[in-house]
Amino acid sequence: MTKKKDHMIIGYTAGVYDMFHIGHLNVIRNAKAQCDYLIVAVSTDELVKKEKNKTPVIPFEERKDIIASLKYVDEVVPQIDKNKFGAWQKYKFNKMFVGSDWENTPQWKKYEKELKPHGVEIVYLPHTDGISSTKLTELIKKILPNE
């Protein structure tokens, strides 16, 4: 992994990355194109259970390994909560990347307000329509017989 330097643009993005798909890759690839060093936070199983009330299909350690294997990713960290300011305090990123489907939501307006005084730019990357881990899970459930 590359060593972080003071003059580098450090990027940060976070997600569950369950059942990794092209939408996940698009966000990570587009984020890396806009920074020198990309930190990707992967939500822990406990956070997914708490926030989404479901258990990921792929366990945290495996999701983390999948993300770490991508050439666009410089560092993988666990996301144990949704405190974006706390993440900034820990990792000191300059840019935070998120899908455009979150733009103008109350949650992300709050993050923008918290992080702007610290020089953090929130970049909304194009959402890949038609694909999601939830859709993939639903499709698999239809295909596989009930056990």
Candidates 135, 130, 108, 133; CA nearest to 120 is 108
Which pLDDT belongs to residue 19? 84
pLDDT digits (tens, 9 = 90+) for 2-51: 455 568 999 999 999 998 888 899 999 999 999 999 999 999 999 999 99
Structural domain count of the chain = 1
| For the chain, percent of residues with pLDDT exceeding 70 | 83
Per the model's pLDDT, the better-predicted residue between 21 and 131 turns out to be 21
Choice among 49, 50, 54, 109 that is catalytic: 54
Containing domain of residue 46, as a range? 10-143
Q: Give burial (CB, 10 Å; 0-12/13-18/19+) of 37.
A: buried
Q: Is residue 3 part of a domain?
A: no
Q: Is residue 16 part of a domain?
A: yes
Q: Is residue 5 part of a domain?
A: no
Mean pLDDT of 38-65: 95
pTM of the model: 0.86
Structure-token match 């993050």, residue found: 111
The CATH number assigned to the domain holding 105 equals 3.40.50.620
User: Does the annotation mark 54 as catalytic?
Assistant: yes
Candidates 26, 60, 55; CA nearest to 41 is 60
Mean pLDDT computed over every residue of the chain: 89
Highest mean pLDDT among 16-20, 113-117, 131-135: 113-117
Q: Is residue 37 part of a domain?
A: yes
| CA dist., res. 20 & res. 54, Å (int) | 17
Q: Is residue 1 part of a domain?
A: no
Mean pLDDT of 97-117: 94
User: Does the annotation mark 32 as catalytic?
Assistant: no
Choice among 52, 109, 116, 135 that is catalytic: 52
Q: Is residue 2 part of a domain?
A: no
Q: What are phi and psi of 141, to 5 degrees?
A: -60, -35
